C-alpha cells in the first residue's frame, strides 16, 4: 500500500485536534472512516502513531511523522495553488519572494508599473526571510527573489543589487537617537535591544557575544518595527529599513560596527513568463537604492 496525501492529511488533522470527532468534522468524514484510515497507515508503517486510543498523544514516531506530514501537506497545497494560479492567469503570472525590508520599499511602485504596462497579468508577492526566499525559488514557487547575501544556486541567476550598513534603528525621540555622540553597542544592548533575523548576520566575534545576550527576539518585521516605534525598544537593522517609515524610524551608525549587508536579485532561468520576470528585474536594477 502506498501512503497517499489523503492519509497524511487525515493523520495530521487528528494529531492537531487531539481526537477523532473534531478531526472527522474538519475532514467532512465519519469517525469510523478516519479511524480506519489511521489503522491502515499504522499497519503499513508497522508501528503505532498514537499512545492509547484517545488520539491525544503522539508516540515518538508519530511526532516525527507529524512534522514530515505537515511539511508535505504544505508543499502539496502550494503546488495546487501554483497550478490553479497559472491556469487562471493566461495574460501572465509573476511570482515574487523578497525579504521584507526590500519588499516594502520597492515593490509598491514596481508592481504598479508592471500592472499598468500589462493590465491582464496577475502578481503574487510573498515577503519572508532569506532562507524561505531561496526555498521558494528552488521549489519553483517564485520566479524572482530578493535575498540578503549572495547565494549561489543551480538554475538561478544571481546579481548584486546594493549594499547598506547595519546600525541602530529606533524611534526619532529615543535618547540614543538624540545624543550627540555615536551610540556604542553596549549602549544599544542596554536600551531594550530586540534581536532579529538580520542582526544575527553580524558575525564579528567581539560583537556576537553582546548580541547573544539579547533577552527578546522578534522574527516578524512588522512586529519588530511596532515595538521600536513605542520608544521603549531598539534594534539593529540595515539602513534601507528606515526608508519604509522615515518619519517614524531613525537610523544611526554604531561606533565600531562597520559591517554591511549585501542584497541580491535572484531570477529563475526557467519561468512560464520570462518577459515579465525580465521587466521586473530591470525595474529593480534601476531603482534608486
User: Residue 243: is it exposed, middle or buried by C-beta count within 10 angstroms (0-12/13-18/19+)?
Assistant: middle
Q: Report how far residue 118's alpha carbon sits from residue 107's, in angstroms, rounded to the nearest whole number.
A: 16
The model's pLDDT over 20-66, given as tens digits with 9 standing for 90+, comes to: 999 999 999 999 999 999 999 999 999 999 998 888 899 999 999 99
Q: Report how far residue 130's alpha carbon sits from residue 199's, in angstroms, rounded to the nearest whole number.
A: 13
Q: Which domains does the chain have, with CATH numbers?
A: 5-85 (1.10.10.10), 90-162+262-285 (3.40.190.10), 164-257 (3.40.190.10)
Q: Which residues contact 27 (CB under 8 A, 6 or more apart)?
A: 9, 10, 13, 34
pLDDT bin (cut points 50, 70, 90) of residue 85 is low
pLDDT surpassing 80 at residue 204 = no
Give the mean pLDDT of 215-240: 92
pLDDT surpassing 70 at residue 87 = no
Average pLDDT in the chain: 90
The model's pLDDT over 124-179, given as tens digits with 9 standing for 90+, comes to: 999 998 999 999 999 888 999 999 988 889 899 999 999 999 999 999 999 999 99
Q: Report how far residue 203's alpha carbon sits from residue 205's, in angstroms, rounded to the nearest whole number.
A: 6
Q: Report how far residue 262's alpha carbon sits from residue 276's, in angstroms, rounded to the nearest whole number.
A: 25
The SS3 assignment for 289 reads coil
Q: Kindly compute the dihedral angle of the four CA atoms of residues 13, 19, 22, 24, in this order, to the nearest 10 degrees.
A: 70
Place of cell 509573476: 94
The model's pLDDT over 180-190, given as tens digits with 9 standing for 90+, comes to: 999 999 999 99
> Which grid coordinates belong to 27?
475532514
> Which grid coordinates belong to 199?
542582526
pLDDT bin (cut points 50, 70, 90) of residue 86 is low
DSSP string, 138-195: HTTS-SEEEEES---BTTEEEEEEEEEEEEEEE-TTSHHHHSSSPPPHHHHHTTTEEE
The closest of 245, 240, 246, 188 to 214, measured between CA atoms, is 188
Amino acid at each position: 500500500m502506498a501512503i497517499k496525501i489523503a492519509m497524511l492529511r487525515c493523520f495530521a488533522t487528528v494529531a492537531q485536534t487531539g481526537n477523532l470527532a473534531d478531526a472527522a468534522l474538519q475532514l467532512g468524514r465519519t469517525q469510523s472512516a478516519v479511524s480506519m484510515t489511521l489503522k491502515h497507515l499504522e499497519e503499513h508503517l508497522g508501528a503505532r502513531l498514537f499512545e492509547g486510543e484517545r488520539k491525544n498523544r503522539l508516540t515518538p514516531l508519530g511526532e516525527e511523522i507529524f512534522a514530515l506530514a505537515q511539511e508535505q501537506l504544505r508543499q502539496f497545497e502550494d503546488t495546487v495553488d501554483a497550478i490553479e494560479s497559472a491556469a487562471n492567469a493566461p495574460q501572465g503570472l509573476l511570482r515574487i519572494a523578497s525579504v521584507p525590508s526590500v519588499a516594502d520599499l520597492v515593490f509598491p511602485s514596481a508592481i504598479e508599473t508592471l500592472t499598468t504596462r500589462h493590465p491582464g497579468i496577475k502578481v503574487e508577492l510573498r515577503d519572508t526571510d532569506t532562507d524561505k526566499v531561496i526555498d521558494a525559488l528552488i521549489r519553483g514557487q517564485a520566479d524572482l527573489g530578493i535575498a540578503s547575501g549572495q547565494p549561489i544556486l543551480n538554475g538561478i541567476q544571481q546579481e548584486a543589487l546594493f549594499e547598506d550598513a547595519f546600525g541602530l534603528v529606533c524611534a526619532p525621540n529615543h535618547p540614543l537617537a538624540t545624543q550627540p555622540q555615536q551610540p556604542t553597542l553596549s549602549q544599544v544592548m542596554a536600551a531594550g535591544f530586540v534581536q532579529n533575523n538580520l542582526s544575527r548576520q553580524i558575525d564579528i566575534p567581539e560583537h556576537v557575544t553582546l548580541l547573544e545576550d539579547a533577552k527578546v527576539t522578534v522574527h516578524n518585521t512588522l512586529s519588530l518595527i511596532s515595538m521600536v516605534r513605542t520608544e521603549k525598544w531598539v534594534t539593529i537593522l540595515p539602513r534601507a529599513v528606515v526608508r519604509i517609515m522615515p518619519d517614524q524610524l531613525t537610523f544611526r551608525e554604531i561606533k565600531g560596527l562597520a559591517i554591511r549587508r549585501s542584497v541580491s536579485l535572484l531570477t529563475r532561468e526557467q519561468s512560464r513568463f520570462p518577459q515579465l520576470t525580465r521587466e521586473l528585474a530591470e525595474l529593480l536594477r534601476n531603482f534608486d537604492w
